[in-house]
Chains A and B, each alone.
Chain A
Amino acid sequence: MQYEIIISGFGGQGILFMGKILTYAGLLEGKEITWYPSYGPEQRGGTANVTVILSNKRISSPILNEYNTAITLNQPSLEKFEKTIKSNGTLIYDKYGITKMPTRKDIQIFEIDAINSSIKEGNSKMFNMIILGGLIKVTKIVKIESITNSLKKTIQEYNQKFLSMNQYAILKGMNLIKKIK
């Protein structure tokens, strides 16, 4: 089984970091993994995206044209990636980030109000972990414990005090996400 995800939004939203936490969680579960970012000048201000693949066997291409799941955090991302989701795949979008609703009928669609929620909580930097919580709730691609361990390993270097905040945000996301279709 190979699981292919694209996460896309504005540069600076923590998309690459979110992808890294997910990828590392996959590694901790013994999966084959790839993480491929858009590393161009779009990182600050424009759209940024990252492709994460988790698999039980050796992964060939890190670059894909269709995905099991797309997470779109702004309107340009939704327009670009809605059509790339495989039939019966999953679309997750942020309520605040989009202006026009997705139109596909053959996919599952989930909404998460992450931007508003993170602002209400007084910490907009929690945003990406709220999204990640929503993702693992609906797709179950990795275990929540793997995400926690991934966070522990990854943010160890910087500051462990942010760990509980991130864990809180992930749980928040798991509760916030709701199925539209």
Chain B
Amino acid sequence: MEEIKLLKGNEAIAYAAIRYGVDGYFGYPITPQSEIMETLIKERPWETTGMIVLQAESEIAAINMVYGGAACGKKVMTSSSSPGISLKQEGISYMAGAELPGLIVNVMRGGPGLGTIQPSQADYFQTVKGGGHGDYKIIVLAPNSVQEMADHVALGLNLAFKYKNPAMILSDGVIGQMMEKVILPKQCQRKTEREIRKSYPWATLGKSKSCKPNIITSVELDSFLMEARNLRFQKKYRTIEKNEVLYEEFFCDDVEYLIVAFGSAARISQKAVEIARGIGIKAGLFRPITLYPFPMKKLNSYKEKLKDILVVELNAGQMIEDVKLAVECKIPVKHYGRFGGIVPTPQEILEKIKNEINK
């Protein structure tokens, strides 16, 4: 049955994972996302659905457990915050190279280094442009509410299995720590081994006499074969870019001044847009929900209609590069950012809009 609860974003991820029939969670605690594992441990899903919850000895161990679980065709996930996600990058690159599905949650905090525990969006480049080595992409979802934190668990894992590719929920301390109303999905059964064999013939579940062995690896020492593999990856990425773009628009029908923002920055910008509309400024908000694939085509269509665009982020200017690419630099793209754990208020963004308009 569906259930309405008052939950933190982090707690919503944990409940959604259990209900979506996730097979295993492997993690290592770090603020501001520790409630994910805490909630899983409190709920004891190993007694109900059979889901494994394991505190690994490190972030690196956790991502490699995800690699192992995914290689067996299991729905597996890990979570961390910025410094911990940096540690996981090698594993994520290996998963992308071995074409393994899996879900990684990053509840971002201010960096660089150990930084601060307060909210930030400074891992956009790391997540969307690579992070680990090699020509690979991961599917990146940017929830902006507690409900979406829950919904994106299923969405992320579905996309990960559809494309045999890691997916990441890129959230931050605001969404992870805030409480909102959540409608949790009804309880799904975990896939049985027989179902996994049938759905994922590539999974390494032990070899029977009648079939060839499945090998999961990212290594290929023959460069020609490795190039062919890369070409196949690129083809897959183009398919993802064509089919899986998600975005949301507020007040965009008659927009004269557009803000582009994701996640928590989009929530705050939305308020700024609401106030602006109240005082007669035709502001609007464009929110990419998928950061990879980025909504290039839709944003491109704005270059004819607008004089300029404002990108609001909790960083020094990262997504702005993709917005510039999307509009082919045909119109000026401005930036407003606070960083290091400082979250801007709606008023700050409104002032920025007013200043830009009066220029």
Contact = CB atoms under 8 A, between A and B. Distances in A.
Interface of A: 20, 23-24, 27, 32-37, 39-41, 59-66
A27 B268 contact: no
A41 B116 CA distance: 10
Contact of A39 (B177, B268, B270, B347): B177
Interface string B302-340: 000000000000000000000000000000000000000
Contacts of B271: 60-61, 64
B181 interface: yes
Interface of B: 4, 6, 31-32, 117-118, 173-174, 177-181, 264, 267-268, 270-274, 343, 345-348
A36 B177 contact: yes
Given A60-B267, A60-B271, A35 B178 contact: yes
A34 B346 contact: no
A131 B345 CA distance: 27
A45 B181 CA distance: 30
A65 B117 contact: no
Contacts of A62: 174, 178, 264, 267
A65 B346 contact: yes
Contacts of A24: 6
A175 to B, nearest CB: 29
Given A41-B117, A62-B267, A63-B346, 17 more contacts: A27-B4, A34-B180, A35-B179, A36-B177, A39-B31, A39-B117, A40-B118, A59-B180, A60-B273, A61-B268, A61-B346, A62-B264, A63-B267, A64-B271, A65-B345, A65-B347, A66-B347
Contacts of A60: 267-268, 270-271, 273-274, 346
Contact of B181 (A32, A64, A66): A32
Contacts of A59: 180
Contacts of A34: 178-180
Contacts of B173: 39
Q: Which 6 A-B residue pairs are closest in the complex by CB-CB distance?
A: A61-B271, A60-B270, A35-B179, A65-B345, A60-B271, A36-B178
Most chain B CB atoms below 10 A, which of A35, A36, A39, A60:
A60
